[in-house]
Amino acid sequence: MKERSRTKFTILGMLSHSPASGYEISKRIETSTNYFWAESEGQIYPALAQCVKDGLATCKEEKANKGQRLRKIYTITAKGQKTLKDWLRKEPQNTLFRNELLLKLFFGANINDSDNLHHLTNHQKKLENELATYEKIKERLLQQAKKSSHLKYWLLTLDYGSKITKAELAWCKESLKLFNRE
Amino acid sequence: MKERSRTKFTILGMLSHSPASGYEISKRIETSTNYFWAESEGQIYPALAQCVKDGLATCKEEKANKGQRLRKIYTITAKGQKTLKDWLRKEPQNTLFRNELLLKLFFGANINDSDNLHHLTNHQKKLENELATYEKIKERLLQQAKKSSHLKYWLLTLDYGSKITKAELAWCKESLKLFNRE
DNA sequence: GCTCCCATGTAATCTGTTACATGATTCC
DNA sequence: GGAATCATGTAACAGATTACATGGGAGC
């Protein structure tokens, strides 16, 4: 029943890279796992507090630089490391995949194909932008994290993103042909 | 704020194919849109009642065959058709995609690669089963729904499933190589 | 002074799952 | 008689988003 939320583990994972504030964790998620795992700030802050309560992380108020305001910097504890590892070893659960575009196309016979076509063209544009983003992130990673022990794993998930996006693009183009032919 | 749920539209969509009972809608979803759009019975029955209240569908108690128990058969109304069409024409929203496997791999440096490898091998098996299921559904569709005006749209979404699954499989195999090499 | 970004948090609300309750019919 | 499936629903709870509240510092 309880404890189905994986916010805690996402946080611990981010802290396993290096200590960070809630705000920074939120930004890291936005610029890394966001395309396959998103978390909102409304979840992160309470979960962080819970991690400290459970002894999975410690909190220290610090100033990043002189003259800057206080930030709460969280560090993962040994217990947190163990909790994270145990979870990582467990079989991943299938998770929600909900695609509204597909749902609309599934019922597409109810509207004009020009409308369906329109959805597809828009989607194609989005996909092209996504693909470009993945390329940029890859470049950034190869420069900034060249020696990180995490690089290999980051590239793996990034590669998933670009491979799947390319396949989606191929599907998109083929589907567009289908509608234009008629 | 409100009305972010798309259960209502999923139901209307299913009713646009043909009248059905709540139970049947649930089964249809399981055997068609489930891989990109799932709904649970706990949502379907209340949403159906709401549809009747809003005049989007009518309800009639019927016996499917002589001697069978009563079922509530729902039929979409003109207002329901319009509601559905309006929604179908609106720009699809990006929806939740959450992949726990990727999340675990992203933090994979924390555990042994044999564990990561294990996750990938399991995933590969699942994908192969999925692909086989898509093929079966496709065959079934081509036989049973040969003349349906919806066939084209069903095949479209099905094709998405198999194309994406194939791309995932390719990614899986490449990733496995990455881990085995070391 | 104003705006933007950094930073932390809470509350309201919505959405969705799970478990439970109930009972009929069909097939073995 | 018992199990499986058909069939309809409710209640409790878990999960997540959104909006709001608050305030400091940086740059214009």
Within 13 Å and on the Cβ side, how many CA atoms surround A86?
Answer: 8
The whole-angstrom separation of Cα A16 and Cα A88 is 12
* Partner-chain contact A13 B123, CB within 8 Å: no
Task: Give the pLDDT mean for A63-72.
Answer: 72
Distances (CA, A) of B88 to A73, A116, A118, A170, B12: 46, 9, 11, 23, 11
- Please tell me whether residue A123 adopts helix, strand or coil conformation: helix
Q: Measuring from the CA of residue A65 to each C1', which nucleotide is nearest? A: D25
The whole-angstrom separation of Cα A157 and Cα B104 is 10
B109 vs A contacts (CB less than 8 Å): 16, 149-150, 152-153
Task: Compute the Cα dihedral for A51, A52, A55, A59 and give only its sign.
Answer: positive
Q: Measuring from the CA of residue A47 to each C1', which nucleotide is nearest? A: C9
Task: Compute the Cα dihedral for A139, A142, A148, A154 and give only its sign.
Answer: positive
pLDDT for residue B67: 57
Task: Give the pLDDT mean for A83-97.
Answer: 91
Closest partner residue to A13 among B96, B107, B160, by Cβ? B107
* Partner-chain contact B89 A115, CB within 8 Å: yes
pLDDT band at A67 (very low <50, low <70, confident <90, very high): low
Which residues on adjacent β-strands are paired with residue A60?
A: A73
**CA nearest to A179 within chain B:** B152
pLDDT band at A1 (very low <50, low <70, confident <90, very high): very low
pTM of this prediction? 0.94
The whole-angstrom separation of Cα A56 and Cα A53 is 8
The whole-angstrom separation of Cα A49 and Cα A58 is 10
Choose among A12, A50, A54: nearest CA to A29: A12
Query: Which nucleotides of chain C does any protein CB come within 7 A of?
Result: 6-19, 23-26
Q: How far is A27 from chain B (nearest CA, A)?
A: 16
pLDDT in tens, chain B (182 residues): 357 899 999 999 999 999 999 999 999 999 999 999 999 999 999 999 999 999 999 999 987 665 567 899 999 999 999 999 999 999 998 777 899 999 999 999 999 999 999 999 999 999 999 999 999 999 989 988 888 999 999 999 999 999 999 999 999 999 999 888 76
The whole-angstrom separation of Cα A32 and Cα B36 is 24
Query: Which residue has the least CA–C1' distance to nucleotide C8?
Result: A45
Q: Which residue has the tokens 């008629």?
A: A182
- Distance of C1' in D20 from CA in A27, Å: 21
Q: Are A73 and A61 in contact (CB under 8 A)?
A: yes
pLDDT for residue B126: 94
Interface mutation target, options A33, A43, A99, chain B, most CBs of B under 10 Å: A99
Is the model's pLDDT at A179 over the cut of 80?
A: yes
- Distance of C1' in C12 from CA in A28, Å: 27
Query: Is the minimum distance from the CB of A75 to strand C below 7 Å?
Result: no
Q: Measuring from the CA of residue B38 to each C1', which nucleotide is nearest? A: C16
Task: Give the pLDDT mean for A55-73.
Answer: 82
Residue A161 structure tokens: 């993103």
Helices A41-53, A22-31: crossing angle, 10 deg rounding: 130
- Please tell me whether residue B111 adopts helix, strand or coil conformation: coil
pLDDT in tens, A122-153: 999 999 999 999 999 999 899 888 889 999 99
pLDDT band at A65 (very low <50, low <70, confident <90, very high): low
Closest partner residue to A156 among B9, B13, B105, by Cβ? B105
Q: Are A15 and A76 in contact (CB under 8 A)?
A: yes
**CA nearest to A153 within chain B:** B106
pLDDT for residue B64: 62
**CA nearest to B172 within chain A:** A160
Closest partner residue to B100 among A93, A105, A156, by Cβ? A93
Q: How far is A67 from chain B (nearest CA, A)?
A: 34
- Distance of C1' in D14 from CA in B29, Å: 24
